Structure formats: structure tokens, C-alpha cells
Amino acid sequence: MAKRELENKARDMLAGVLVVEGVIAALFGIAALFWPGLTAAVFIKLFGVFVLVWGLVSLVHSFLGIGRSNLWWVESIFSLAALGLGIFLLRNPAVSAAVIILTVGFTLVARGVVDFLVGLFATDSEVKVNRWFYILMGLVGVAAGIAVLAHPVASGLVFVWALGFYMLLSGALNIGLAFRVRSIE
């Protein structure tokens, strides 16, 4: 009985974290779509903070999957990479925009691949009932990453819009996933 209550509390906490992450991602996406002229320094700082929080949330989620998910270690590797990228972005704001754009493009592709693989192959019950959320988030991530990588410097506006579109969709899907996770018994 106590194990069941602990699992329910962990699931509720995960749902809450997914909602917070989803709202932040959606707000970031809306800002990127409607105010693409943000200065590079502000954008890099905001994105650095987001990637750092994203890495922390993903790391906690992956550790919660130990013993329940066969792919927890894949998310752990991505999470550590995201943490490193977030710290790098915050410590080096003068890095050229092209390097940041390429890094973001590769990050979106990598995260998309991780989400897609988790959606296809994870065996834990939370993923099984929400498989299409993970697969869709993965496809959106890969598509946004490819769009960013296809136009790294020549089209900064495409970069901002692709990132904004991805963040908005990712945020909405995370919020939807939170409600699905919470309803699992």
C-alpha cells in the first residue's frame, strides 16, 4: 500500500513538473514567435536558463525511471549533455550566434531522437499509454532541429521561428502528457 501511495505521489509530482516545463516552453515559444528581434545576449541567456532547467528536469525524470524504465540511461545521457550546454551558454554569452544556432539545432535533433526512441521502445506503463506523445514530440524536435540546421546563419528569423514553434508545441504536448500521466492508475 505504501509503495502505491509513493508511486502516486511521484506521478503527481512528475505531472506538476511537466506542466511547469510545458508552460515555460510554451511561453518561450510564444516570445520567440512574436518578438523575433530579441537581442542575441538576452536570447542566449534565456535559452541557457531554459536548457539548464530542461536538463535538470530530465535528469530527475530519468532517475525516477531507474527500475521502471529500460531506457532511463538514454535520458540521463541527454540530460547531462543538456546541463553542460546550459552551463556553457550561461558562462559564455559572447559565443557567436552561428555556434549557438548550430548547437541548438543539434540539441533539438538529439532530444527529438531520444523522445522518439523512448516512444517506440520504452516498456514502462507511463510511456506505453502515452506512446504517441513521445513519438510526436520526437518528430517535432527532429523537424525543428533540421530546419534550424538547414539555415544556421543566413536566416536567423527561420531559426527563431523554428525554435519558437518547437517550444510552443513541446510545451503543449508536455502539458497534455502531464494530464495523461496523472490519470494513470
Nearest to 144 by CA among 153, 134, 136, 133: 136
Q: pLDDT tens across 8-60, in order?
A: 788 888 888 888 888 988 988 888 888 776 655 677 777 788 888 888 988 88
Q: pLDDT tens across 88-136, in order?
A: 888 887 666 667 778 888 999 999 999 999 999 988 877 788 888 889 9
pTM score? 0.56
Outline where the chain has alpha helix (H): 2-34, 40-64, 72-91, 97-121, 125-128, 131-150, 156-183
* Residue 126: all three cell numbers together: 507511463
CB 38 within 8 A of CB 28: no
Cα(145)–Cα(82) distance, rounded to whole angstroms? 15
Cα(109)–Cα(168) distance, rounded to whole angstroms? 16
Nearest to 18 by CA among 134, 177, 185, 183: 177
Domain boundaries, the chain: 2-183
Cα(59)–Cα(57) distance, rounded to whole angstroms? 5
* Residue 122: all three cell numbers together: 520504452
pLDDT at 81: 92
